[in-house]
Structure 1
Amino acid sequence: MAVTKDQLNKLIQQLPEDALPMAADFLEKLIHKSDHRFIPWDDEPTTQEDLDDIRKAKEAFKRGETIKLKDVIDDLLN
Structure 2
Amino acid sequence: MVVRKDDLHSLVERLQEPDQKTALDFLQYLIDRSERNPLSWEEIDRQEPDEEPLTEEELRQLKSDAGYVSGEVAKREFGLQVDLP
Which TM-score applies when normalising by structure 1? Answer: 0.48
Which structure shows the bigger proportion of residues in helix conformation? 1
More RCO (CA 8 Å, sep 6+): 1
